[in-house]
Amino acid sequence: MERATLRKMPIGIQDFEKLRNFDCVYVDKTGYVWKLVNEPAPYFLSRPRRFGKSLLLTTLKAYFLGKRELFDGLAIASLETEWQAYPVLHFDFNPLGYDSVASLNYFITDCLERMEEDHGLSKSEYPQDYPAAIRFKRLIEGIHEKTGRQVVVLVDEYDKPLLESMADETLNGELRSALKPFYGVLKSADASLRFVMLTGVTRFSKVSIFSDLNQLKEIGLNENYAAVCGITERELLENFRPELEALAQKNGESFERALEAVRKNYNGYHFAKNSESVYNPFSVLNTFADLDIQYYWFATGTPTFLFKELERTKFDITRFGDKIEMPESAINDYQPGDATPTPLLYQSGYLTITGYDKEIRAYSLGFPNEEVQYGFLNNLYKYLFPVNNSVNGLNVWTFIKAIRAGEVDTFLTQLRAFFSGIPYDLFFEKGEKYYQTIFYLVFTLLGQFAESEVRSAAGRADAVVKTKDAVYVFEFKLDKNGTVEDALKQIDDNGYLIPYSAGGSTLVKVGVVFDTDARILGDWRIQIYKP
């Protein structure tokens, strides 16, 4: 398929009406819309950024405005028979930054003024400092009284002001206090409301929609709505087969290889205990628009606030190599100052559900796919070790070139130089765990270019790297805990080489000792076994 014949991908289009009018490819989610609008509860849906929340809300908006023509050929067209129109109030907190309560109040007041004007209600009677919550309530009830129809309220990214202010505890508290009465209106004005839905990244437990608005139905972990945003494998094959074929043709590979590349990079999100996995829609659409696999989702925003939370909570970075467990009661609840950032990592899309233990009612979490794993860890690497990246010029690519060439001495020499570039005070502040973090990040990131794994359970070597011709088994020891010979002996005694001995590859044992006083790699020994 020539590039000129590729169909329109809705890159950056979050408005359902615009998407349909421009004849873009659309994965039909209107069956979920039908289910939502025919249940009476107000809803809250949490999903990571750029996962289709805005498109879902504008689809609901078009439905409630009675724009039947936009739904021709979609699932809901055969389900809906009445197509009644309702007044819709749509708040989108995405466009602005919120660096003060004044900026938040300005945004809300501006929205209310425009809505009052749209619905022919007076706005001149309100003084400048009139409470936004009371004005919001009067707007809802005024529209209901004037039209005789209940009002639909849609709130997109309700939590953006709170996410942006997480580093400033005082401002965050002020913004929560300002939002509390505003969202509380959605309970007090219930008699005038036909439908309510709020979306966001995370569930802040101290905001009134989760304490005062106790009738809110949260569907972020509901199996019935696990695929309401995102793309399932069935939807991928049904809607994007031409693009998958074009991707395969461009790269000179089979359809199955192209599908597997898309799958391992963008699939793997689970939003319920037993749900099927979904693909990241933003990355999928960009891949098919460009016919190229890149880390599109991650390129749209580096999660610096998460890295700061990892530092604040002293989170053990090496835990990313294991399954991370989180009680069911805590996975979808977060507030600034919590002792662990794990719920925020899940809600932001950097971890996903990989299992569930029903006996202890706990989730297992892990990276969903390679885009998230390598994008997250590579940026975390740059965040934690800025000196090395700017001064020594050492990065993961320099390490992998040495390993690919079979130059283990060069690799270890580079790693020693990496450690030497870390300021003493930084190393002293973070302690011995720091060197384990470095090893974990370096060896995990090698997995982008060669098969690599880091120890995640007893009985495995500290790190294993597989290249085309060889398997390298590393064992590291602190100088106070053993010698190079002890490290090599541990590889033999525990049979770390045995799983790789039948493959015909050269086997390489590498024992390394870390000099804790000098804060660098000390001695190492390399033993090579030819097949």
Place of tokens 């009002």: 151
Contact 59, 205 (CB under 8 A): no
Parallel, antiparallel, or unpaired for β 506-515 and 470-478?
A: parallel
Tokens representing residue 246 in the block: 């074009």
pLDDT in tens, 33-63: 999 999 888 999 999 999 999 999 999 999 9
User: E strands, 99-251, where?
Assistant: 151-156, 193-200, 217-218, 231-232
The answer to whether residue 142 scores a pLDDT higher than 60 is yes
- The confidence band for 304, taking pLDDT boundaries of 50, 70 and 90, is confident
The two three-digit tokens of residue 142, written as one number: 């005024």
Predicted pLDDT of residue 391: 45
Distance from C-alpha of 371 to C-alpha of 375, rounded to nearest angstrom:
6
SS3 446: helix
Contact 262, 293 (CB under 8 A): yes
3-state secondary structure of 352: strand
Contact between 315 and 302 (Cβ < 8 Å): no
Per-residue model confidence as pLDDT tens digits over 161-200:
988 888 788 998 899 899 989 999 999 999 999 999 999 9
Give Dmax over CA atoms of the chain in angstroms: 87
Torsion, CA 277, CA 283, CA 289, CA 293, rounded to 10: -100
- Helix, strand, coil abundance in the chain, percent, nearest 5: 45, 15, 35
pTM, two decimal places = 0.90
Mean pLDDT within 221-246: 97
Residue 473 has pLDDT above 90, yes or no: yes
* 267: enclosing H helix or E strand: none
pLDDT of amino acid 426? 52
CA distances, 110 to each of 107, 132, 338 (Å)? 5, 10, 34
What is d(CA 188, CA 214) in angstroms, rounded to the nearest whole number? Answer: 11
- Find the helix or strand (DSSP H, E) in which 77 lies: none
For residue 455, pLDDT beyond 80: no
Residue 301's φ and ψ, nearest 5 degrees, are 175, 125
Location of structure tokens 């007090």: 188
Question: Can you name the residues that pair with 526 across neighbouring β-strands?
Answer: 510
Max mean pLDDT range (22-26, 37-41, 308-312, 449-453): 22-26
Strand partners, 366: 352
Collapsing DSSP states into helix, strand and coil, what is residue 120?
A: coil
| pLDDT surpassing 90 at residue 109 | yes
Given a cut of 50, is residue 428 above it in pLDDT?
Answer: no
Alpha helices in 119-159 (DSSP H): 132-147
Instruction: Indicate the burial class of 323 (C-beta count within 10 angstroms; 0-12, 13-18, 19 or more).
Output: middle
Residue linked to tokens 């809250």: 44
The whole-number average pLDDT for the span 301-309 is: 85
Q: Which of 125, 126, 133 is nearest to 104 (CA)?
A: 133
DSSP symbol at 221: T
In whole numbers, what is the pLDDT of the chain averaged over residues? Answer: 89
DSSP secondary structure letter of residue 388: I
Beta strands in 285-432 (DSSP E): 324-327, 352-357, 362-366
CB 356 within 8 A of CB 364: yes
At 26 the three-state DSSP class reads coil
Nearest to 269 by CA among 254, 256, 284: 284
Q: How far from the centroid of its chain's Cα atoms is residue 374's Cα?
A: 13
Contact criterion met (CB below 8 Å) for 276 and 233 = yes
Length of the chain (residues): 531
Contact yes or no for 43/36 (Cβ under 8 A): yes
Average pLDDT rounded to a whole number, residues 107-130: 88
Classify the C-alpha dihedral 400-403-407-408 as positive or negative.
positive
SS3 of 472-523: the string is: EEEEEEECCCCCHHHHHHHHHHCCCCHHHCCCCCEEEEEEEEEECCCCEEEE
- Measured on CA atoms in the order 95, 98, 99, 101, is the torsion positive or negative? positive
Query: Any idea what DSSP says for residue 389?
Result: I
For the cut 80, the answer to whether the pLDDT of residue 134 exceeds it is yes
Q: Residue 296 — very low, low, confident or very high, per pLDDT cuts 50/70/90?
A: very high
Q: How confident is the model at residue 332 (pLDDT cuts 50, 70, 90)?
A: confident
- The angle that helices 281-290 and 241-251 make with each other, rounded to 10 degrees, is 50
Q: 186-217 burial, b for 16+ CB within 10 Å, e for fewer?
A: bbbbeebbbbbbbbbbbbbeebbbbeebeebe
Domain architecture of the chain: domains with CATH: 28-225 (3.40.50), 304-370 (no CATH), 385-529 (3.40.1350)
